[in-house]
Chain A
């Protein structure tokens, strides 16, 4: 019972943070609020016993992403400009609300079909999960099943994941700038 209350509290705080991050006009403040959002998200995962996910969310969402956003804001501007109102005072907000309401109805409809949290008879728990839990320790020597699945049973997928991260780094390097030549591209021609 206390778990459910804690989970609800953290979910509520996440919603509060999300709304606050949308409303605040200072982008740096929005980034800090977004870090708080990640922190509450990590706390929610802890309450749900998903410690590996919580760990990742706390390290990536609350620390690294915040640092990257602060970097990006330093390179651009801190204030919000040109948002909310387009030409001739036309405000897109009511139209967006009108479009989002059906989406909300559809999503609420879909959540009704999701299995209960921790329901052992639901689809994800009836295929390979029982095998992993029964044989994971003998097969891989790992007592943490998340590691057993990530690094051994699904090692191929983790390799793909690492490749995606590598690609992200290379893409950032190619799009935003080089490591050695720090001059902007238009200066490079007549250097």
Chain B
């Protein structure tokens, strides 16, 4: 998986596709209130775009988004979700009762923002976990690389 596909057609197509996938993922997340979709679907689309880049260009080569970042995202998602839940608990509501969040807005809008926040948490978590699973599966069985401090394993 490290070498990638290396076909110019696939390379050009993926470069064209990926920005639109990100746009669509954002749309699916933000518009989840009024149309099908939400954080989970948006996260899957985002992860699919990153996996597409991994497949075309080779794993982690030319990619600023490493599997370490994926692991951090996977942890940040549930933290964001739970954090919003605990925040509404601290401001006098129930756990995940977004209406209690102290925002100077219409109560319905506060709920919309709270929902968007947890959906963003779902998106971040799902993206991180899926990319992490892909990286873990793809890395297994590859010839062991020399480690940072120069000693070859084995």
A interface residue numbers (CB < 8 A to B) = 51-52, 54-56, 59-60, 63-64, 67-68, 71-72, 74-75, 138-144, 146-147, 150-152, 155-156, 158-159, 162-163, 165-166, 168-170, 172-173, 176-177, 179-184, 187-188, 190-191
- Give every chain B residue within 8 A of A54 (Cβ-Cβ): 36
Instruction: Render B22-63 as a binary contact track against A, CB cut-off 8 A, 1 for contact.
Output: 000000100011111111110011011001000100000000
How many residues on chain B are close to A (CB under 8 Å)?
63
Find out whether the CB atom of A163 lies under 8 angstroms from the CB atom of B144.
no
- A189 → B minimal CB distance (Å): 10
- Give every chain B residue within 8 A of A141 (Cβ-Cβ): 33, 108-109, 111-112, 115
- Give every chain B residue within 8 A of A75 (Cβ-Cβ): 137, 140-141
A180–B153 alpha-carbon span in the complex (Å): 12
Does B147 make an interface contact (CB < 8 A)?
yes
Does B4 make an interface contact (CB < 8 A)?
no
- A77 → B minimal CB distance (Å): 12
Q: A55-B41, A74-B1 are in contact. Are A169 and B129 (CB under 8 A)?
A: yes
Instruction: Render B101-123 as a binary contact track against A, CB cut-off 8 A, 1 for contact.
Output: 00000001101100100110110
B interface residue numbers (CB < 8 A to A) = 1, 28, 32-41, 44-45, 47-48, 51, 55, 67-68, 71, 74-75, 77-78, 81-82, 85, 95-96, 98, 108-109, 111-112, 115, 118-119, 121-122, 125-126, 128-130, 132-142, 144-145, 147, 151-154
A-side interface mostly:
helix
Find out whether the CB atom of A60 lies under 8 angstroms from the CB atom of B125.
no
- Return the contact of B67 from the options A150, A151, A179 (Cβ within 8 A): A179
- Return the contact of A165 from the options B45, B51, B126 (Cβ within 8 A): B126
Find out whether the CB atom of B136 lies under 8 angstroms from the CB atom of A173.
yes
- Return the contact of A183 from the options B85, B118, B137, B154 (Cβ within 8 A): B154
- B33 → A minimal CB distance (Å): 4
Find out whether the CB atom of A152 lies under 8 angstroms from the CB atom of B71.
no
A75–B128 alpha-carbon span in the complex (Å): 22
Find out whether the CB atom of B33 lies under 8 angstroms from the CB atom of A152.
no
Find out whether the CB atom of B129 lies under 8 angstroms from the CB atom of A165.
yes
